[in-house]
Structure 1
Amino acid sequence: MVLPSSPSGQTTQSDGRVELTDPAAIEQSPYYNDELAPVPIAKRTWSTYNFAALWIGMAHNIPSYLLASGLIALGMSWVQAFVTITLGNLLVLIPMLLNSHAGTKYGVPFPVFARAFYGVRGANFAGLLRAFIACGWFGIQTWIGGEAIYALAGKLLGSWWRDAPVVLGQPWTLWAAFLFFWGLQMVIIWRGMETLRRFENWAAPFVIVAALALLVWVLFEAGGLGPILEQPSRLGWGVEFWSVFAPSLMGMIAFWSTLSLNMPDFTRFGGSQRQQALGQVLGLPTTMSFFALLSIFITSGTAVIYGEAIWDPIKLTEKFDNPLVVALSLFTVMVATLSVNVAANVVSPSYDFSNAAPRLVSFRVGGLITGVLGIAIQPWHLVADPNIYIYVWLAFYGGLLGSIAGVLAAGYWVLDKKTLHLPDLYARGGRYWFTGGWNLNAVAATVIGSVAAVGGAYSDPGKGPFPQEGLIPVLKPLYDYSWAVGLVVALLVYLLLSAPQRRRATDLAV
């Protein structure tokens, strides 16, 4: 059922979803292109399964598998690591669902949604920050995927591949595998969102079946679960554990904090609010918890089979000698890494870069920009050390993105009460133009929230780039809670700064 059209230029369906009355009315705007335009109701076809499959495909990847091992390397027991990962994913699901609502209701991607609060131009402040972090993640996942291809192909092709001449510190064949994997991802994103949806639909169950098959084989060979399940925490449950737990929890939240912002990029295609919310609830926390247990159980079995715990799934599959099994492992790793990297780390920056110059940069060109920057960031340095990976990379950018999430939550749910005006999201001089296209209140709230969150960034001696006493010593205690601090501080500051404007608007209305 469609409710009567309103003079506002948008039409509301009986289920609450909104679309433009006359889509052609915004096509001449310099802030418009086809990819950034609201998705018509008829094309919002993603179901509960599509969203669940998206999350299953994104969660089943090598960095997710290695999360438990990274926490155990820091001294946690498997129970502590499992609880930390599960709790982190339950917490990050909250802002994810809050931001997802706008995508489904209005059919717009994240950078256009951000225009309502940062301004039509100012949305690039939030969008490009999110985009550059995605480029880093794209590079990390592509490097890991390239390493996997190099390692497993070496089992099939022999020493000429494994022992190839070194170029820039790595065998040239490793660089070739890296660039090959990079190219595969560019092909998928060039073909568009519908290709991605179809890919995720079959990739998700395939990776689950392959992972379960590996678990069954390990348990059969080991005769049951091994000694890792009985291994106590080196940290205990006292002060030492809690000092590691807090920043680790923020790192687990930061792992998906990028998606907590840009889920409107996907939920804009949702058939209903119930479908997108249920699909995400079924897909994210359950899958991440399951995958953490899977990695723990498989590693436990390897300790019995090989006499050592092998946390890296690539090193485990290198133990296989059957060419068919190695080839299947290689294909599985490629599918698993492709499914997360294209969806999580290329779609968002493609929209974000397109939003920065809608008439010059298409969704596809934005994807190519992401690919180039993902190489330029030299991702191999970010994953070399769990201290750098969890405490520096994840914790630092988590605080920045938490600040943006705070502004969006305050604006959409508290101030605007889920009501946006679609035509003005593309208009110069409309209600979202603010001051020259920028809402300085949102920018100030984000900056203040970010400084509070990461201003105290610190590193233990020899374990990171920050001073031991923190960049701003008085803020050092807050860094262990960077994402939560950024979200809460930015949310409160934005509400405080916006209060005078709201009062003036109310007075004028009266």
Structure 2
Amino acid sequence: MSNKDISVTREQVDLIRERGYNEDLLPKTEDKRNMSAKNYFTLWMGSIHNIPNYTAVGGFLFLGLSPINIMIALIISGLAVSALMVLNGKAGSKYGIPFSMHLRSVYGDVGAKLPGFLRGGVAAIAWFGLQNYTASLALLILIGKLWPGFLVLGGDFNFFGISLPGLIAFTIFWAINLLIGLGGGAALNKFTAILNPLIYVVFIGMTIWAINVGGGIGNILNFTPTGNQVQNHSPILVYFMIINSVLAVWAGPGSSVSDFTQNAKSTKDQRIGQTASMLVGYAIFAFSSISILIGGSIHYGVQEWNVLNIVDKWDNLPAMLLAIIVLLMTTISTNATGNIVPAAYQLSALFPKKINYRKGVIIAAVISYIIMPWKLMENSDSIFAFLNMIGAVLGPVAGVMLAQYFFILKEEIDLNELYMDPIKDNKDNQYKGINKEAYIATIIALIVSMLGQFIPSLSIISSLSFIVGAGLSFIIYLGLKKLK
């Protein structure tokens, strides 16, 4: 093989195929890899500039740090995310295995089902529906600007809490996301190739506008928010809170990144591409988000932390429409890479003989529609508490995954044992059953990272839940393995 760091051969794959595994679960040989450093560079860029991320930055402004310090914290956060992506993605790039099989190498063939289902079957599907609904509100604004009469279609029509225009906007955006998901990695590569130049054009243009109307970069960097929401924490603590928040946003993709790195032409490609993507992406995002939110707030005389509300106030209709379209496209990119792709692969892993990737996409999309995310948004406290709990699970999972691959397996996975013959007993197979130490470490770390939500005096733990969960599970797992 030309790439020595790719440890999978066609002979191995042919043998595994004979055992009944579907094509989506098979390791990718070198000739099946199509993602270079350039592809990885563009892959995540579109996932950074989305509506929820801009809203999060608005919240960071109230934590007591100056705007310039928030920018620095965001850039450091991007580097932390890239480290998670690159390290946890190495098993995928070396062996060509998807997340579901990577998870099996950690938790065992039976043990992998629960964390896999929580990542792809619950969190990903729920977030897919919720992000579709959130973005459909932006689509509703866009259609309303072009066709004002659309907003009053159906009169008093109400479908379980959503108006006819809202339902149409949601269905349209849901369908677009479904089509992108069905296209898989190839469609994503083409989509992001179109999206990223637009991101540069739109968000750099928005940043220039914001600096101009905000009275210059000095005014923006010296801005101090006011109101009862302003908090005063230790600067070091706020840095860690921001880093933790950004890591938590990427906990899902960070755990299941092997679904993407299995297509890497080499480990070097995914390492350089993902690091550059996060570093450049978050550097641009840090400066643009702070500038746009603060500049817009200064200009309109209202502390406005929802980027959509700022754009909606623009007098220039073409510019406003272009900005909303790009925001919608970034949400599609985020939804595909972080939600629909891992959901489809996990459904395929749970039912390998009945569901392939495309069927998984369709099933996940249909479920995300049936759960009526607009209803879930009516009671935001309970649904987000649930989703935050699911997200908190992924910190401990990521910690155990890193400990297993680098320190227990020492970067060596036996593909013949990993893809065990379902007919044979395989009782001596190291990946058979449940890795009890992995489960113990994950559960203990999860409980500790959730303590702050129930014990006020430990609330700081909740603010650092991903870091605490990942770090604790990493240490506990290695300790348990040494004691074994």
> Which interval holds the TM-score relative to the shorter structure?
0.7 to 0.9
Q: 1:151-300 alignment to 2 at 5 Å?
A: 151-161=141-151, 164-165=155-156, 167=158, 168-222=160-214, 224-225=216-217, 227-232=219-224, 239=233, 246-300=240-294
Of 182-191 and 395-404, deviating more is 395-404
For residue 298 of structure 1, report the CA deviation from its aligned partner: 1.7
- Aligned in 2, Cα 1:213/1:90: closer, same or farther, shift over 3 Å? same
- Per the alignment, residue 62 of structure 1 pairs with 51
For residue 59 of structure 1, report the CA deviation from its aligned partner: 1.2
Match among 309, 314, 323 for residue 315 of structure 1: 309
For residue 242 of structure 1, report the CA deviation from its aligned partner: 6.2
Deviations 1:320-351 (A, max 9, x none): 34543344234322222111111121111111
Of 228-237 and 248-257, deviating more is 228-237
Asked if the contact 2:39–2:273 (Cα under 8 Å) also holds between the matched residues in 1, the reply is yes
Question: Does the residue aligned with 2:89 lie in a helix, a strand or coil?
Answer: helix
Is 1:97 the counterpart of 2:86? The answer is yes
Tell me, in whole angstroms, the C-alpha distance in 1 between the residues paired with 2:482 and 2:231.
44
Question: Does the residue aligned with 1:453 lie in a helix, a strand or coil?
Answer: helix
For residue 380 of structure 1, report the CA deviation from its aligned partner: 5.1
Is 1:147 the counterpart of 2:137? The answer is yes
Tell me, in whole angstroms, the C-alpha distance in 1 between the residues paired with 2:427 and 2:145.
61
Question: Does the residue aligned with 2:9 lie in a helix, a strand or coil?
Answer: strand
Is 1:399 the counterpart of 2:392? The answer is yes
Asked if the contact 1:78–1:229 (Cα under 8 Å) also holds between the matched residues in 2, the reply is yes
Structure 2-normalised TM-score?
0.88
- Per the alignment, residue 4 of structure 2 pairs with 14
Give the AA of the match of 1:491.
F
Of 321-330 and 249-258, deviating more is 321-330
Tell me, in whole angstroms, the C-alpha distance in 2 between the residues paired with 1:216 and 1:239.
31
For residue 217 of structure 1, report the CA deviation from its aligned partner: 3.3
Is 1:27 the counterpart of 2:21? The answer is no
Asked if the contact 2:40–2:277 (Cα under 8 Å) also holds between the matched residues in 1, the reply is yes
Question: Does the residue aligned with 2:57 lie in a helix, a strand or coil?
Answer: helix
- Aligned in 2, Cα 1:15/1:242: closer, same or farther, shift over 3 Å? closer
Give the AA of the match of 1:416.
L
Asked if the contact 2:417–2:430 (Cα under 8 Å) also holds between the matched residues in 1, the reply is no
Is 1:426 the counterpart of 2:419? The answer is yes
For residue 209 of structure 1, report the CA deviation from its aligned partner: 1.3
Of 206-215 and 78-87, deviating more is 78-87
- Aligned in 2, Cα 1:435/1:16: closer, same or farther, shift over 3 Å? closer
- Aligned identity (percent) is 29
Match among 344, 360, 368 for residue 366 of structure 1: 360
- Per the alignment, residue 434 of structure 2 pairs with 438
Q: Which runs of 5+ in 2 are unaligned?
A: none
Is 1:135 the counterpart of 2:125? The answer is yes
- Aligned in 2, Cα 1:148/1:409: closer, same or farther, shift over 3 Å? same
- Per the alignment, residue 469 of structure 2 pairs with 486
Give the AA of the match of 1:452.
V
Tell me, in whole angstroms, the C-alpha distance in 2 between the residues paired with 1:247 and 1:376.
35
- Per the alignment, residue 449 of structure 2 pairs with 453
For residue 116 of structure 1, report the CA deviation from its aligned partner: 1.2
For residue 20 of structure 1, report the CA deviation from its aligned partner: 4.2
For residue 443 of structure 1, report the CA deviation from its aligned partner: 1.9
Match among 336, 341, 355 for residue 342 of structure 1: 336
For residue 125 of structure 1, report the CA deviation from its aligned partner: 1.9
Give the AA of the match of 1:403.
P
Asked if the contact 1:20–1:38 (Cα under 8 Å) also holds between the matched residues in 2, the reply is no
For residue 185 of structure 1, report the CA deviation from its aligned partner: 0.8
- Aligned in 2, Cα 1:171/1:19: closer, same or farther, shift over 3 Å? same
Deviations 1:486-509 (A, max 9, x none): 2122222322333366xxxxxxxx
Tell me, in whole angstroms, the C-alpha distance in 1 between the residues paired with 2:241 and 2:382.
12
For residue 103 of structure 1, report the CA deviation from its aligned partner: 0.7
Give the AA of the match of 1:350.
A
Tell me, in whole angstroms, the C-alpha distance in 2 between the residues paired with 1:232 and 1:203.
33
For residue 388 of structure 1, report the CA deviation from its aligned partner: 8.4
Tell me, in whole angstroms, the C-alpha distance in 1 between the residues paired with 2:224 and 2:211.
21
Of 360-369 and 155-164, deviating more is 155-164
Tell me, in whole angstroms, the C-alpha distance in 2 between the residues paired with 1:209 and 1:432.
57
Q: Aligned pair count? A: 476
Question: Does the residue aligned with 1:35 lie in a helix, a strand or coil?
Answer: helix
Give the AA of the match of 2:395.
G
- Aligned in 2, Cα 1:332/1:95: closer, same or farther, shift over 3 Å? closer
Tell me, in whole angstroms, the C-alpha distance in 2 between the residues paired with 1:260 and 1:432.
31
Tell me, in whole angstroms, the C-alpha distance in 2 between the residues paired with 1:284 and 1:39.
25
- Aligned in 2, Cα 1:239/1:149: closer, same or farther, shift over 3 Å? closer
Of 20-29 and 98-107, deviating more is 20-29
Q: Which runs of 5+ in 1 are unaligned?
A: 3-12, 459-466, 502-510
For residue 372 of structure 1, report the CA deviation from its aligned partner: 3.4
- Aligned in 2, Cα 1:398/1:334: closer, same or farther, shift over 3 Å? closer
- Per the alignment, residue 405 of structure 2 pairs with 412
Give the AA of the match of 2:405.
Y
Q: 1:490-505 alignment to 2 at 5 Å?
A: 490-499=473-482
- Per the alignment, residue 506 of structure 1 pairs with none
Deviations 1:297-319 (A, max 9, x none): 12233234323343322222222
- Aligned in 2, Cα 1:88/1:435: closer, same or farther, shift over 3 Å? closer
Give the AA of the match of 1:493.
I
Tell me, in whole angstroms, the C-alpha distance in 1 between the residues paired with 2:350 and 2:72.
40
Asked if the contact 1:134–1:348 (Cα under 8 Å) also holds between the matched residues in 2, the reply is yes
Question: Does the residue aligned with 2:250 lie in a helix, a strand or coil?
Answer: helix
